[in-house]
Structure 1
Amino acid sequence: DKSKLQLAIDWLKGNAGEKRYRLVVIRHGYLAVEWSQGVGPNERLDMFSAAKSLYSSILGIAIKEGKISSVDDKVVDYYPEMMDVHEGTGPKPGRHAKPVDREITFRQLITNMSGYMKPAETPDSRFHYQTFGMNIVTHAIAKLYGYYDTGDPERLPGFGKLVEERIRDKIGGTWTHSFKNFNHPPRARIGVFGYYTSIESTAYDMARMGYLWLNDGSWGQQQIIPKQWMQEATRTAPNIKANCARD
């Protein structure tokens, strides 16, 4: 519908100001239209937290491949290092692993319901967005594939390499990855909870990701991400519904 596309671009041009953007629209697997302001077609930009959808996809793949038995498994059984963040070695004062964190599951981490290193929170008690919990997911999975070492994080390629092998290369993507860290205290165990996976992608890369997710993880004749996982991952998580009352 050209009229709706025109409304969209009029809104974008009227609200973007001097901000840079590149927008692409895919229809039936083909590039239908694109608009840009200051972003080249091959320019890669940091996806920031949008990359966490890739984290979820790889978790589903890891379960399918038998690396993890269930999304409800306790993470400590796969990544005991998560508990090796004692008082004074966390990201800030008062933030460190606590005994109840041993009960955290992959589901709770990927849905931001873990309470990991949160002083007043227990697993499944509260939705609380956090990057460190997601880092535990990526490191746990990467370790299972031999791609991460908490003692020397930069020695191995890390979780981003797994994303490239299991998703990017199969859908013709071009994105790259790198490790990044926030500013932490000198004693912080960043090898355990830091080193988040940054994904740098073009607009076309993001369109490919979106089309993959739109089709329940299917690309051509390949089921890259388990269909059941995609259907579950694109709905409100049951633990959020059960434990987080809506206003």
Structure 2
Amino acid sequence: MQRVADRAGVDLLHVKGPATAEFLRANRHRSSDVDVLVRPGHVERLLAALQENGWALFTDFEEGSPFGHAANLRHATWSFVDVHRHLPGPLVDAETVFDRLWRDREAALIAHRPCAVPSLPGQVLVQVTHAARSHASERAEAWDHCDDDLRRKVRALADELAAGTALAAGIGELARHRDAPDFALWRFWSSPDGDRVDEWMARIRSASGVRAKLAVLRRALPVNRTHLALRLGREPRHGEVLREQFARIQLALAQLGRRWGGRR
């Protein structure tokens, strides 16, 4: 990835996995893919360079995650690659986040090649906010291994990037952020419970402004064709998409009915 980026003139930061300092990890980490955060203005350039080097788009940004933050590419020989155009958590714009992390970047030797990685506070913030959206299945182990000085620096960075709610969700302090605009979203992602209705309600509540809320609603019900193709092992037929759409609407109505019935 670093070789492709260097040749294409792309600024990227390696994140998570081997890009995290060893003392911030409880055990030796085994990675199944490569995660990179790319300068937003260089995303299209990197995607083109990857495809020229044999990678193929597997899931695009909108279909790849509920946060719309990463596209996934696969290669016949090499690992999967997650190309992040922004990080879930910060509320400031993606360009500002990248510039801030890029400014304090460090070099780490990965696969015998110097690679740009975030500073230690940046590494901790990335790992903790990643754990915060795991529905309590992952621990914020990087935070557990921080001393008091490093924790202060992580909190300061989170405040600077408006990522305090996401950080709090990862370290068990979310209750202190009940008035935050993104509280509902991180309560859902950091909780082991919840269904699709909870997710979409949280996303609507956390969207800023009427236009953003309507955009979330427009994305709520249509079938994710990529995920359906992964489940089927092939491209879905028109009738299969229609059946999936009908089932999706039925499920949403059933979940809403159970919720309203319980409240009555």
User: Could you tell me the TM-score, scaled by structure 2's length?
Assistant: 0.29
What TM-score, normalized by structure 1, do the two folds share?
A: 0.30
Which structure has greater helix proportion?
2
User: Which has the higher relative contact order, 1 or 2, with Cα contacts under 8 A spaced 6 or more apart?
Assistant: 1
